[in-house]
């Protein structure tokens, strides 16, 4: 049963399927912030579908293939498996189970997984036997925030440093440096009206990331803009100088 539940995006198909079953679990938020001075944090799940769903939740350290049994994340979730009725909800309680060598001078990033497995459809006599069942997995960021970090997370984006450079192959790149102990998550980055490829959009604490410049951006560009995602999932746009 456990191995069935943790399958990533479970897809059960039989030849000549006669119907589709969809899931409806929604997570109340796009990220989870876990302040180290709290005993636990909660995450609200809602079933917006028309059928009950069986939900399994776990935390991983960055490997999307990790199962609950394989995960080394220092978090415990109550309940790990729950049935959520349609139009109802379920509260997940996340409890930190120990530091396991986590850095004390910066945030650590984990991922909360919620696997939603809808029930098999009920059949009446004469209905098609074959059907397709989809299980949906949602995976959102979980930030563990140690106490006493210097500064404030909502001010970290304004402290980013931007400069132009070249990569080892000599191609022009934009360098973003994060001098703060907080993760900064970008959803957009632009120069001279051109959008840059941002990958996962993460600038880690005390780290830097390079972004290839798109064609048509001149080397004498002096300003740009970025959009970051704050603790509440909101998107905020700022200008920056090079």
pLDDT at 7 over 50: no
CATH top-level class of 2-145: mainly beta
Mean pLDDT of 17-46: 83
Q: Provide the β-strand partners of residue 108.
A: 144
Find how far residue 16's CA is from the centre of its chain: 36
Q: Do 161 and 179 form a contact (C-beta atoms < 8 A)?
A: yes
pLDDT at 219 over 70: yes
User: With bands split at pLDDT 50, 70 and 90, how would you rate the model's confidence at 2?
Assistant: very low
pLDDT at 215 over 90: no
Q: Which of 86, 76, 110, 109 minimizes the C-alpha distance to 26?
A: 86
pLDDT at 6 over 70: no
Percent of the chain, pLDDT > 70? 85
Could you tell me the residue ranges of all domains in the chain?
2-145, 153-241
User: With bands split at pLDDT 50, 70 and 90, how would you rate the model's confidence at 224?
Assistant: very high
pLDDT at 30 over 90: yes
d(CA 50, CA 127): 20
Mean pLDDT of 6-23: 39
Mean pLDDT of 33-38: 96
Mean pLDDT of 144-162: 96
Q: Do 233 and 31 form a contact (C-beta atoms < 8 A)?
A: yes
Mean pLDDT of 18-44: 83
pLDDT at 36 over 70: yes
Q: How far apart are the first and last CA of the chain?
A: 54
Tell me the per-residue pLDDT of 76-111, one tens digit each, with 9 for 90 and over: 999 999 999 999 999 999 999 987 789 999 999 999
* b/e sequence 35-61, b meaning 16+ C-beta within 10 Å: ebeeeebebebebebebbbbbbbbbbb
Count CB-CB contacts under 10 A for residue 68: 19
Identical topology for domains 2-145 and 153-241: yes
Architecture (CATH level 2) of domain 153-241: Sandwich (2.60)
Q: Which of 217, 211, 178 minimizes the C-alpha distance to 196?
A: 211
Mean pLDDT of 52-62: 95
d(CA 242, CA 227): 16
Q: Do 23 and 136 form a contact (C-beta atoms < 8 A)?
A: yes
Q: Which of 87, 95, 92, 143 minimizes the C-alpha distance to 114?
A: 92
Q: What is the DSSP letter of 120?
A: P
User: With bands split at pLDDT 50, 70 and 90, how would you rate the model's confidence at 8?
Assistant: very low
Identify the pLDDT of residue 1.
Answer: 42
Q: What is the pTM of this model?
A: 0.85
Higher-confidence residue: 118 or 130? 118
Q: Do 219 and 182 form a contact (C-beta atoms < 8 A)?
A: no
Tell me the per-residue pLDDT of 125-143, one tens digit each, with 9 for 90 and over: 666 566 666 788 999 999 9
């Amino acid at each position: 049963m456990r191995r069935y539940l943790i399958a990533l995006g479970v897809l059960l198909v039989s030849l000549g399927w006669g119907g589709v079953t969809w899931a409806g679990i929604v997570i109340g938020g796009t990220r989870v912030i876990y302040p180290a001075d709290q005993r636990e944090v909660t995450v609200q799940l809602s079933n917006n579908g028309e059928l009950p769903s069986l939900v399994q939740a776990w935390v991983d350290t960055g490997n999307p293939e990790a199962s609950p049994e394989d995960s080394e994340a220092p978090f415990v979730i109550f309940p790990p498996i729950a049935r959520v009725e349609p139009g109802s909800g379920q509260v997940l309680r996340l409890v930190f189970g120990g530091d396991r060598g986590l850095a004390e001078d910066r945030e650590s990033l984990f991922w909360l997984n919620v696997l939603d497995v809808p029930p098999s459809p009920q059949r009446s006599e004469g209905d098609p036997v074959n059907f397709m069942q989809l299980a949906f997995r949602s995976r959102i960021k979980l930030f563990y925030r140690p106490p006493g970090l210097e500064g404030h997370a909502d001010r970290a984006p304004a402290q980013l440093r931007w400069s132009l450079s070249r990569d080892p192959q000599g191609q022009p790149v934009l360098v973003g440096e994060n001098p703060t102990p907080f993760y900064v998550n970008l959803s957009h980055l632009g120069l001279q009206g051109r959008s840059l490829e941002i990958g996962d959009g993460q600038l880690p604490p005390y780290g830097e990331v390079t972004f290839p410049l798109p064609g048509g951006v001149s080397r004498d560009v002096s300003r740009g803009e970025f959009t970051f995602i704050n603790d509440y999932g909101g998107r905020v746009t700022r200008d920056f100088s090079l």
